[in-house]
Structure 1
Amino acid sequence: MTGRSFAVAPVLLAVLVASAWRAAAAAAAESSSAADLIDRLPGQPVVDFPMYSGYITVDELAGRALFYWLQEVPPEAQPAPLVLWLNGGPGCSSVAYGASEELGAFRIRPDGATLFLNEYRWNKAANILFLDSPAGVGFSYTNTTSDLYTAGDNKTAHDSYAFLVKWFERFPQYKYRDFYITGESYAGHYVPELSQLVYRNNIGIKKPIINFKGFMVGNAVTNDHTDYKGMFESWWNHGLISDDTYQQLKTTCLNNSLMHPSTACNNSQDVAAVEQGNIDMYSIYTPLCNQTSSSASGKGRPIRRRHRWTMGSYDPCTESHSLVYYNRPEVQRALHANVTGINYPWVTCSDPIYDYWGDSPITMLPIYKELIAAGLRVWVLSGDTDAVIPLTSTRYSIDALGLPTTTSWYPWYENNQVGGWSQVYKGLTLVTVRGAGHEVPLHRPRQALILFRHFLQGKAMPQNGTVS
């Protein structure tokens, strides 16, 4: 007995040491996340859910750190899925757009100092993780200036993946939670590229740290040729351009890169812009903000969002409100943001990131095919009053996948009103939202929340009834 006990003791000791190490690691992770807990934002109403925000360093040598803002469901609704939201640009902040005027918990009042609760916030259905990406966007930063001029799809995807791995270590309670990636506009590149990276890195792991289930994109840059084709056709069909300009655009742009067009294509788009006049191409039936926005500079930027319309009543100036709010020192302190004391103002979109964007593949369709074949959930949504990445573009891009239809085109309903239309393909669901522009949750917040709930449940949109 003595000999056997002596032999087992080192094993027991190893188990105890390992258990103690795990407990210490968990305590350290919990302590780390606790430091990111938001006490209360300036001007914030009382809420029943916790929020966290802070930085994750994704490259120690370069000093690249990405800023996140987590808005959880109320504690009694846990466990709920975790959903990452990415805005595009490239170069635009998810805090500025997704969190502050679309699906986030709050809206900013015109005074730029107080917040009100978004009735249709997505953290009613899931824990929402907003990420400013790449470094140099929003509150995310880099200590290497050249990073601002060498950004591109590949680096962005790998930095976002590095962020996720470290973030799950800081929040271990989410490691095995159902996880989805969502976004809009140029995030039509970010979302599938990051999804592919997560999927491939999960292969061979029995219990992946990232329990990835699928992705959803809205009014998404997908395939340059069909994006251009649908864009110009939509402009012509809506009477925004002349016959001659329509033909000129098709001649000079159809075989171009969306992010790196030729001079001839740029010139054709300049002619189109003159004919279109001073309207919001991201929402062609809504008025412009009469204030000047620092991120509204530059012509021929097909993916940037410049003017906004808020829920309930018109307020096309919400971007201007965020410029005031997020530049307040007390707001930055409450968010644990700008910890390095950057000496320039916070902006909604970074011009250097956009102007010097590097690699931008001409198509995401091969990634769609790979992830659909893997059995992941893939949804594509489209606001039908957007003229930048219009529904026409999205339909052409989906058609190029050659997927068989399982449920033909049909209207979906909410409160006995048509909310939009849908078609279900083998491996992909398309949902349109009637009357929504480029930012669907901004223009049609109620319908967007219904759509989001159905996406999480993997259920087709309702064909009749009073869905709420």
Structure 2
Amino acid sequence: KKPLLLWLNGGPGCSSVAYGAAQELGPFLVRSYGENLTLNAYSWNKAVNLLFLEAPVGVGFSYTNRTSDLRRLGDRVTAQDSYSFLLNWLNKFPEFKNRDFYIAGESYAGHYVPQLAELIYDGNKGASRDRVINIKGFMIGNAVLNDATDQMGMVEYAWSHAIISDELYSAVRRECDSFKEEEDGGKPSKGCSPAVRAFLRAYDDIDIYSIYTPTCLSSSSSSPASASPRRSSPGLVAAPRLFSKHVKEAWRRMQRVPAGYDPCTEEYVKGYFNREDVQRALHANRTGLSYPYSPCSEAISKWNDSPSTVLPILKKLMGAGLRIWVYSGDTDGRVPVTSTRYSLNTMKLRPRLMRKTAGDGAGEESEWGGWRAWYDRQQVGGWAVEYEEGLTLVTVRGAGHQVPLFAPRRSLAMLYHFLRGSSLPASRSR
């Protein structure tokens, strides 16, 4: 029997249906200006039973009858509500109760996924048999993990990819005190805000979530000029704490979730889910929401808690034996691979040495740790390293922030190996 996998998008406040299901890994993708659906040849439902949750309340078609609920949202409430949803859903569909269960997600789901996994793991202890969730592990992509290293990696990535100047790079590092939080001794100067604003402006004409693909020049955009990249409606954004503390409005202007090779897929999805016939077919919006469907919520304006790091949760769940893969599309500038590597490096994990399978020194262990290429259809799909503690880091070559959108075949191949607990192919011959 296929496992059950829950997919969560981040934001906070962005829809797992609008992004995960309709643009990335669902069985049907919205195309052609929201007029029809296309079968996804690389849908993850080839390997698992997919469950998409619009969380927290106020996201997508999820709603509440009390507006006060929208003012108490944060990481804690999102995890608790998602856990309650899962327990109730499994009671309603008991045929899935004993199946292996996994969670996956991207971006700010770097918080959602491990926080929910921790609740499930703790909740299973001493729970009655009918309330045990058979969790085996999770995957998180281009994930927000640790504020200080996330933002350091973001600036390093922009500089190393020639998006910002040497002078601006030095100014941000200097004025923002190397991205330390104030409680950790960081003392950002008055020059931090203008330096970060200049940093953000460097991305004005390209897609920060996919730096090498075109931007959407949709006529329905709210941008002042038709030749300017599209920006979504304002909402919350998974901004590193130090930056958001000093230039919150600048980060809000950056709010959008990435486009793909057709850079206007988000526009198509928004139009599709606002169609009355689609809502009727989905049995959605029966209460008649007072606002239109939006891929990222316009109803959520306050986020009450967001810890600066989730790395202790990863460490705890690795110790509990859960399978954890962290993957990263390497053309994302928003939560880039540099951020992920810096964050994981603070955990001081031990790379598992890999034996070379081909070429000079075949059969020998690499003298440079376990970092190696992995292959798909005899081409390099990215790079990977496995750690003795049970975590695997995978990069996906040429993919942006939404890996299943940019690299659908390789993302599905990665999922199969994750589920089997097997290493990604280390040579062209496999």
Shorter-chain TM-score bucket reads 0.7 to 0.9
Amino acid at match of 2:55: S
User: Does 406-415 or 279-288 show the bigger shift?
Assistant: 406-415
Q: 1:344 aligns with which of 254, 278, 291?
A: 291
Amino acid at match of 1:443: F
Q: 1:255 aligns with which of 156, 166, 180?
A: 180
TM-superposed deviation, 1:304: 4.6
* Inter-partner Cα distance in structure 1 for 2:429 and 2:197: 45
Q: Is the Cα–Cα contact under 8 Å of residues 231 and 256 in structure 2 kept in the other structure?
A: no
User: Does 239-248 or 296-305 show the bigger shift?
Assistant: 296-305
1:459 paired to 2:422: yes
Q: Is the Cα–Cα contact under 8 Å of residues 414 and 466 in structure 1 kept in the other structure?
A: no
Q: Deviations over 1:281-309 (max 9, x none)?
A: 00000000001167244641498544411
Q: Which residue of 2 aligns with 1:300?
A: 251
TM-superposed deviation, 1:206: 7.3
Amino acid at match of 1:371: L
Q: Is the Cα–Cα contact under 8 Å of residues 302 and 388 in structure 1 kept in the other structure?
A: no
* Inter-partner Cα distance in structure 2 for 1:413 and 1:323: 35
* Cα distance change of structure 1 residues 295 and 276 upon mapping to structure 2, 3 Å threshold: closer
Q: Is the Cα–Cα contact under 8 Å of residues 303 and 388 in structure 1 kept in the other structure?
A: no
* Inter-partner Cα distance in structure 2 for 1:294 and 1:423: 35
Q: Which residue of 2 aligns with 1:335?
A: 282
> TM-score, normalised to structure 1's length?
0.78
TM-superposed deviation, 1:111: 3.4
TM-superposed deviation, 1:106: 1.2
Mapping for residues 31-430 of structure 1, pairs under 5 Å: 79-205=1-127, 207=129, 209-250=132-173, 251-252=175-176, 254-256=179-181, 265-291=192-218, 292=221, 295-297=232-234, 299-301=250-252, 304-309=255-260, 314-353=261-300, 355-407=301-353, 408-426=370-388, 427-430=390-393
* Inter-partner Cα distance in structure 2 for 1:232 and 1:215: 28
1:147 match: secondary structure: helix
TM-superposed deviation, 1:243: 1.9
* Inter-partner Cα distance in structure 2 for 1:416 and 1:175: 38
* Cα distance change of structure 1 residues 445 and 239 upon mapping to structure 2, 3 Å threshold: same
Q: Which stretches in structure 2 are left out of the alignment for 5+ residues?
A: 222-229, 235-248, 354-369
2:208 match: secondary structure: coil
* Inter-partner Cα distance in structure 1 for 2:253 and 2:31: 28
* Inter-partner Cα distance in structure 2 for 1:156 and 1:107: 26
User: Does 293-302 or 412-421 show the bigger shift?
Assistant: 293-302
> TM-score, normalised to structure 2's length?
0.85
Amino acid at match of 2:424: M
1:247 match: secondary structure: helix
Amino acid at match of 2:262: D
Q: Is the Cα–Cα contact under 8 Å of residues 150 and 335 in structure 2 kept in the other structure?
A: yes
* Inter-partner Cα distance in structure 2 for 1:131 and 1:363: 23
* Cα distance change of structure 1 residues 294 and 224 upon mapping to structure 2, 3 Å threshold: closer
Deviating above 3 A after TM superposition, structure 1's stretches of 4 or more consecutive aligned residues are 205-208, 261-267, 296-299, 301-307
1:429 match: secondary structure: strand
1:405 match: secondary structure: coil
Q: Is the Cα–Cα contact under 8 Å of residues 151 and 339 in structure 2 kept in the other structure?
A: yes
Q: Deviations over 1:343-392 (max 9, x none)?
A: 32100101442x42110000001101100000110100000000011000
* Inter-partner Cα distance in structure 2 for 1:203 and 1:303: 42
Q: Which residue of 2 aligns with 1:6?
A: none
Query: In angstroms, what is the RMSD of aligned CA positions?
Result: 2.0
Q: Deviations over 1:421-457 (max 9, x none)?
A: 0000021000100000100000000000000111111
Where relative contact order (Cα < 8 A, 6+ residues apart) is larger, the structure is 2
User: Number of matched residues?
Assistant: 381
* Inter-partner Cα distance in structure 2 for 1:302 and 1:422: 34
* Cα distance change of structure 1 residues 170 and 294 upon mapping to structure 2, 3 Å threshold: farther
Q: Which residue of 2 aligns with 1:20?
A: none
* Inter-partner Cα distance in structure 2 for 1:193 and 1:246: 33
Amino acid at match of 2:172: L
Q: Is the Cα–Cα contact under 8 Å of residues 307 and 317 in structure 1 kept in the other structure?
A: no
